[in-house]
Structure 1
Amino acid sequence: METIVAGSERESLTYDVAIIGAGPAGLAAAIRLAQVGTESGRELAVCVLEKGADIGAHLLSGAVMDPAGLDALLPHWRDAPPPNLTPVRSSALRYLSADGDLSLAQPRSLDDAGCFILSIGQLCRWLAQQAEALGVDIFPGFVGAEPLYDVENADQLYEHEGVVAGVVSGDMGRMQDGAPGPRFEPGTEIIAKQTLLAEGARGSLSERIIARYDLRADSAPQSYCLGVKEVWRVEPGRHQAGEILHSLGWPLDSAVYGGGFLYHWGDDRVSLGLVSGLDYANPYLDPFAEMQRWKTHPRIAGVLKGATRIGYGARVLVEGGPVALPKLTFPGGALIGDAAGFLNPARLKGIHAAILSGKMAAEAVAELWRDGAPEPGEEALGYPQKLRHSALWAELWRGRNIRPGFRWGRWSGMLNAALEDRVLRGRAPWTLRMAGEDRAALRPAASCAPIDYPQPDGKLTFSRADSVYLANLAHRDDQPIHLTRPHGDAALTTHGAAFARAETRYCPAGVYVWEEGEGDAQLRIQAANCLHCKCCDIKDPTGTIVWTPPEGGSGPHYTEM
């Protein structure tokens, strides 16, 4: 359902700029807008909507941060830094076999000197404090559910589409059938002259805006990975603060892009996980089970001996690189951070890119007020111009060919990466692109070999149910199911056997369960298990599943991810 400004009877709040998403990009944009307002004497009213119950509740990353973003945004941040920021002291890349490993030369792009290991959730809680101190209004637990379109004031170019004039926050208290319940509260119109979408990878509003204004018309296909992550508390003798390990190889098949990471940070924390490219072909592949198996490698299991698992989560990552970036502005707003696709796969980093994109967008948006309030639907065209002349663009362009090189398998990918990293250094006269949508890569089960995964032992490896418990999930059971199937379950039922019911494996939370009975099997969706990773929205081979946001405050409640 689309919402038009004219004639609405909802309550409303009016701001100059509304930002959807309180991740690094959204909070950086809010901070920079407040800074520019103070510097210029033209203070703008800015708000940030965050669907998580608290800032950071839905944020998950590795995470290793290049401080370039913070240095540009808050030059004196080191005087009072975010909590548990751990300087990188050593970094290694190893190729794993089932029971051994080999040290590999570290690519230039993975030089982590001067970087920090951290929790992205803790970072963004700190950024939110900086934003609020500058006068920004932040509303956790508020979903940006629907775009507001102003058709009446749209110019001729957008007379049919309208221009974006803000968002509507999600209704609260609807029952499972969509009818208002006894505690129903309608969403609020957040009316804004400019709307910045900072929802992260595969944002629901962002994808709708991209489709409405055809922002990918001139872009390469976007591609994604799924990161499955755990946090462990390890014994003092096994903790090496600031140590980084990245791995290639086992347990992933050579046709599957991906690898593992293990980061020592804080006093006794280890963040670890496995990232799997969602352009894999075999429907029997299970990214969650691959990650559990990866932990049994001696190189990983040795660190976790005597340790306690304290956190679990999963999230998709954008991997298409700069050629997959959509048009960044639309009438009335812009895309920033991973909502656009600013992660740098060659460096395995995106936090600095998100911050810098938010900063550049904020500066371009603020310029629209130079001669008074902007007209409805005005675009901050200075944003993509700033990007093209920035060090961030040079960095992204330099590594543009590394991820697409793995389309043809691990060995050709590693050879191409070495050539790009050591010889060409971004100067190749060609530009590689991903092949197409990730869902299209999945092959029928009849042409693929099943994969036998070991049963979890409950000590080092675990089941989905045991893992999801650590994500501190909260979904009201009687709210509408947010994993929608606009065309019903017919396509899933018809094609389920053809793809071996792949949704039972690509989902890292066990949301999709097929129940056998008389006649056809029935799909049961355990929406309360959803980690908001967005994998189903990307990998479902039928394109039937559409992820939409549940009530504000629902979902995981990560604390150290």
Structure 2
Amino acid sequence: MKPTKISLNAPDVEREELPVDVCIVGAGPAGLSCAIHLSRLLKESGDEERTVLVLDKAEEVGHHTLSGAVMNPKGIAELFPDYKARGFPIQSEIREDWAEMLKPGGGSTKLKGILCPPPLRNHGNVMVSLNEVVGWLSGQAEEIGVEIYAGFPVAETRFEEGTDRVIGVQTRDSGIAKDGSKKATFEPGMDVSAEVTVFAEGVRGNLAKNLFRRLDVMDGKNPQTYGTGIKEIWEVTPEIGKEMHGQVMHTGGYPLDMKSYGGSWVYGFAENKLSLGFVAGLDHPDAKLDPHALFVQWKQHPKIARLLEGGKPINYGAKCVPEGGYFSQPRLYGDGFVFVGDTGGFLNAATLKGIHLAIKSGMLAAEAIFAALKKGDSSMASLKGYQDAYEASWAKEELWKYRNYRQAFAGGMVKGGLDFAFQMVTGGRGLVARRPGHSDHETMAPVSKSKMTKPKFDDKASMDKLTDVYLSGAIHEEDQPAHLLVNDPSICTDRCTKEYGNPCQHFCPAAVYEWPEGSEAVLINASNCVHCKTCDIMDPYENIEWVVPEGGGGPKYIGM
């Protein structure tokens, strides 16, 4: 069942018209890099009257931006060759890295030096807070005249009448009550018109999602495959802080079985702080898959628990990541629009890196948009220059090298590991030239086959979901229409309960969905939502629709 398009805004309302040359939806590393590079190109050509506008749904730029984050500096060095002199916010250089396979009994096998898998070697990379990175980038953008409107979620894509040409966007109305009535604070969204619209919404953006349905941008492509990443920042003891500062540790194995894809990290990014994270592949067949529970079980392993003893968590976040790679990327352009960053699938799942690719995608898009504006032609044929430039770039070369990586693990970790080893000696090909993909929700097995167990929680290292949500800073205006929509509630009660045991109560890392004992309907705690998009991706019937809430709603990933 394909979800129907949802209309978020009130009809027949007079709206302010805001004409710009380029509208960029999303102030992450891809959107801001596009804005910066495009504005510089326009100024260098003497075309300073052009307007570049960036819209972001977060209350402040960076509040919804989340990553591990070890960053390959290749992208930022292209955007700003003097990035260090400009004060680019690097948390730590990397002193040492390794991989470690955790065993269920508490032991592990450490792989260092030449034994560490090549994709997990991080010599030359740096540790950053992506929240601080986009804050820095937004400052650079505003210095050269880019307009950035934070707290402006975008509800609709605007099309030229009778065509599929994108002509801009419409921001979301505010001041609508739960019952749909207009409150005294009602303000209609704006109609933004643009020669080119850049979709930089991150993973599973509501605008790009609808474009994927409406247009043929995924023809001949693999479906995208996702993982849900859970992250905490910890303040640790001085002893652990000194031991782990500048250290990069990636782990595999426990608590996942050999049929399940996923992995985890510990980054010593400051003298007394650790970044901890766990990513679970959403093609896991268990209907009770709970990425947050896996994260807690992982923290309870003695190798991880030792690092946390005497410390305390200070931040929490969750986000989906696009793991499908080159064959799962959409066509990156169309009439009047382009896709960049996570929206365009720019993530290297093998190396766990995407920031440098996001920056590069924004720069390549900027160059194609600049050429289109100079010609006065923003048609599909003109913006195809972006795709052509990408295919000739190091970004494509990197993703091509790992083009069959994630799909190889669909048959389990042993088969996937063998295929990946073969990929490394065949230029990324592996055992077959192109592995097919699948939509994650299609892999879910009946709940009767579930083997998932929940951990025991405490008030120390093993926090439950609600405690972690508090650490995320998530908040939404309560009296507004829900931004998490169940298209057909009868499916939940008539089919999902019996077939899958209502998996939304398990897979959501923010306790948004609850099935109280004896209840005949799901309870949706929309104010808990951290905008990770797991529900929109993993619902087995495609029955949950994530749409943007009013401006300012969501998590506050400060320092994350």
Question: What is the TM-score of this pair, normalised by structure 1?
Answer: 0.94
| Deviation of the 1:42 alpha carbon | 1.7
Partner of 2:117: 107
- Point out the more displaced range, 66-75 or 408-417: 408-417
Asked if the contact 2:409–2:415 (Cα under 8 Å) also holds between the matched residues in 1, the reply is: yes
CA distance in 2 between counterparts of 1:164 and 1:186 reads: 21
Opposite residue 40 of structure 1, the aligned amino acid is S
CA distance in 1 between counterparts of 2:284 and 2:384 reads: 37
Opposite residue 141 of structure 1, the aligned amino acid is G
Cα shift readout 1:326-364 (whole Å, capped 9, x = no counterpart)? 111011110000001010111110000000000000100
Q: Does 1:401 align with 2:404?
A: yes
* Structure-2 change in CA distance of 1:492 and 1:243 (3 Å): farther
- Point out the more displaced range, 75-84 or 285-294: 75-84
CA distance in 1 between counterparts of 2:193 and 2:528 reads: 33
Asked if the contact 1:226–1:317 (Cα under 8 Å) also holds between the matched residues in 2, the reply is: yes
* Structure-2 change in CA distance of 1:449 and 1:148 (3 Å): closer
Specify the SS of the correspondent of 1:49: strand
Cα shift readout 1:271-295 (whole Å, capped 9, x = no counterpart)? 1111000000011221111100100
CA distance in 2 between counterparts of 1:290 and 1:381 reads: 42
Partner of 1:497: 498
* Structure-2 change in CA distance of 1:434 and 1:82 (3 Å): farther
CA distance in 2 between counterparts of 1:431 and 1:208 reads: 31
Partner of 1:443: 445
Asked if the contact 1:3–1:148 (Cα under 8 Å) also holds between the matched residues in 2, the reply is: no
Asked if the contact 2:423–2:431 (Cα under 8 Å) also holds between the matched residues in 1, the reply is: no
Partner of 1:544: 543
Partner of 2:239: 237
Specify the SS of the correspondent of 1:497: helix
Specify the SS of the correspondent of 1:246: strand
* Structure-2 change in CA distance of 1:427 and 1:162 (3 Å): closer
- Point out the more displaced range, 436-445 or 76-85: 76-85
Moved over 4 A (4+): 1-4, 375-379
| Deviation of the 1:377 alpha carbon | 6.8
Alignment of 1:332-411 (within 5 A): 332-371=336-375, 373-374=376-377, 379-411=382-414
CA distance in 2 between counterparts of 1:46 and 1:501 reads: 44
Q: Does 1:207 align with 2:209?
A: yes
Asked if the contact 1:284–1:451 (Cα under 8 Å) also holds between the matched residues in 2, the reply is: yes
Specify the SS of the correspondent of 1:370: helix
Partner of 1:32: 37
| Deviation of the 1:378 alpha carbon | 6.6
Partner of 1:120: 130
Q: Does 1:74 align with 2:80?
A: yes
Partner of 1:162: 164
Asked if the contact 1:223–1:434 (Cα under 8 Å) also holds between the matched residues in 2, the reply is: no
Asked if the contact 2:245–2:270 (Cα under 8 Å) also holds between the matched residues in 1, the reply is: yes
Partner of 2:3: none
Asked if the contact 2:229–2:277 (Cα under 8 Å) also holds between the matched residues in 1, the reply is: yes
Specify the SS of the correspondent of 2:435: coil
Asked if the contact 1:21–1:200 (Cα under 8 Å) also holds between the matched residues in 2, the reply is: yes
CA distance in 2 between counterparts of 1:543 and 1:442 reads: 12
CA distance in 2 between counterparts of 1:141 and 1:348 reads: 29
CA distance in 1 between counterparts of 2:382 and 2:215 reads: 13
The correspondence for 1:414, drawn from 406, 413, 417, is 417
Q: Does 1:305 align with 2:306?
A: no
Cα shift readout 1:191-222 (whole Å, capped 9, x = no counterpart)? 11100000011111111112211210121111
Asked if the contact 1:314–1:533 (Cα under 8 Å) also holds between the matched residues in 2, the reply is: yes
* Structure-2 change in CA distance of 1:556 and 1:542 (3 Å): same
Cα shift readout 1:49-77 (whole Å, capped 9, x = no counterpart)? 01011111011111111001001111111
The correspondence for 1:54, drawn from 40, 51, 60, is 60
The correspondence for 2:70, drawn from 43, 64, 84, is 64
Cα shift readout 1:141-179 (whole Å, capped 9, x = no counterpart)? 00111011112xxxxxxxx44311110111001001222
Asked if the contact 1:93–1:246 (Cα under 8 Å) also holds between the matched residues in 2, the reply is: yes
CA distance in 2 between counterparts of 1:177 and 1:440 reads: 34
* Structure-2 change in CA distance of 1:397 and 1:352 (3 Å): same
Partner of 2:26: 21
| Deviation of the 1:264 alpha carbon | 0.6
Asked if the contact 1:94–1:248 (Cα under 8 Å) also holds between the matched residues in 2, the reply is: yes
Asked if the contact 2:199–2:343 (Cα under 8 Å) also holds between the matched residues in 1, the reply is: yes
CA distance in 1 between counterparts of 2:382 and 2:304 reads: 49
| Deviation of the 1:522 alpha carbon | 1.8
Alignment of 1:515-526 (within 5 A): 515-517=516-518, 521-526=520-525
Cα shift readout 1:244-264 (whole Å, capped 9, x = no counterpart)? 000110001211100111101
Cα shift readout 1:498-556 (whole Å, capped 9, x = no counterpart)? 11211111000111111344xx6221100001110000000001111010010011010
Asked if the contact 2:120–2:250 (Cα under 8 Å) also holds between the matched residues in 1, the reply is: no
| Deviation of the 1:15 alpha carbon | 0.7
| Deviation of the 1:37 alpha carbon | 0.8
CA distance in 2 between counterparts of 1:450 and 1:273 reads: 23
Partner of 2:428: 426
CA distance in 1 between counterparts of 2:381 and 2:186 reads: 35
Asked if the contact 2:99–2:120 (Cα under 8 Å) also holds between the matched residues in 1, the reply is: no
Specify the SS of the correspondent of 1:123: helix
The correspondence for 2:174, drawn from 149, 172, 192, is 172
Opposite residue 224 of structure 2, the aligned amino acid is Q
Report sequence identity in percent.
38
* Structure-2 change in CA distance of 1:492 and 1:215 (3 Å): farther
Opposite residue 51 of structure 1, the aligned amino acid is K
CA distance in 1 between counterparts of 2:222 and 2:144 reads: 38
Opposite residue 165 of structure 2, the aligned amino acid is V
Opposite residue 64 of structure 2, the aligned amino acid is H
CA distance in 2 between counterparts of 1:377 and 1:322 reads: 21
- Point out the more displaced range, 273-282 or 283-292: 283-292
Asked if the contact 2:312–2:461 (Cα under 8 Å) also holds between the matched residues in 1, the reply is: no
Asked if the contact 2:8–2:155 (Cα under 8 Å) also holds between the matched residues in 1, the reply is: no
Specify the SS of the correspondent of 1:167: strand
CA distance in 1 between counterparts of 2:7 and 2:231 reads: 35
Asked if the contact 2:32–2:138 (Cα under 8 Å) also holds between the matched residues in 1, the reply is: yes
The correspondence for 1:329, drawn from 327, 333, 337, is 333
| Deviation of the 1:8 alpha carbon | 7.7
| Deviation of the 1:108 alpha carbon | 1.9
Opposite residue 409 of structure 2, the aligned amino acid is F
Specify the SS of the correspondent of 1:79: coil
* Structure-2 change in CA distance of 1:53 and 1:72 (3 Å): same
Asked if the contact 2:422–2:431 (Cα under 8 Å) also holds between the matched residues in 1, the reply is: no
Opposite residue 108 of structure 1, the aligned amino acid is P
Partner of 2:288: 284
Alignment of 1:432-471 (within 5 A): 432-446=434-448, 448-471=449-472
Question: What is the TM-score of this pair, normalised by structure 2?
Answer: 0.94
* Structure-2 change in CA distance of 1:228 and 1:375 (3 Å): closer
Specify the SS of the correspondent of 1:368: helix
Aligned residues: 547
Asked if the contact 2:203–2:322 (Cα under 8 Å) also holds between the matched residues in 1, the reply is: yes
Opposite residue 404 of structure 1, the aligned amino acid is Q
* Structure-2 change in CA distance of 1:326 and 1:549 (3 Å): same
Asked if the contact 2:90–2:126 (Cα under 8 Å) also holds between the matched residues in 1, the reply is: no
